Amino acid sequence: MFRIRIFVCLGLALLYFFSPLDIIPEMVFGALGFLDDLIIMFIIAIYITMIYRNVLANRAEATADHTHVD
C-alpha cells in the first residue's frame, strides 16, 4: 500500500507539473510561473516523507511488540 500511495502522489505531481493548466501559467509569467509547480512538488515531498516516517514507525512498533516478552 505504501508504494502505491507514493506512485500515485508522484504521478499526480508530475501530471500537474506538465499540465498546461496552472494556478500561475508559465506562458504568461515565464520563470515565475514555475513557482506554483515547485510549491506543489514541495508539498508532495513533505507528504511522502510523512508517509515514509509512519511506515518506519509502524515497522519499529511491530518489531518491538514481537521482541517484547512478559
Distance CA 15, CA 13 (A): 5
Q: How confident is the model at residue 69 (pLDDT cuts 50, 70, 90)?
A: low
Taking only the tens place, the pLDDT of each residue in 13-65 is 888 888 777 777 888 888 888 888 888 889 999 999 999 899 899 988 888 87
For cell 519499529, name the residue.
Answer: 60
**What DSSP character marks residue 12?**
H
DSSP string, 13-69: HHHHHH-S--SS-HHHHGGGGHHHHHHHHHHHHHHHHHHHHHHHHHHHHHHHHHH--
The number of domains in the chain is 1
70 pLDDT more than 60? no
Query: What pLDDT score does 38 carry?
Result: 86
Question: Residue 8's domain spans which residues?
Answer: 2-67
C-alpha cell at 9: 502522489
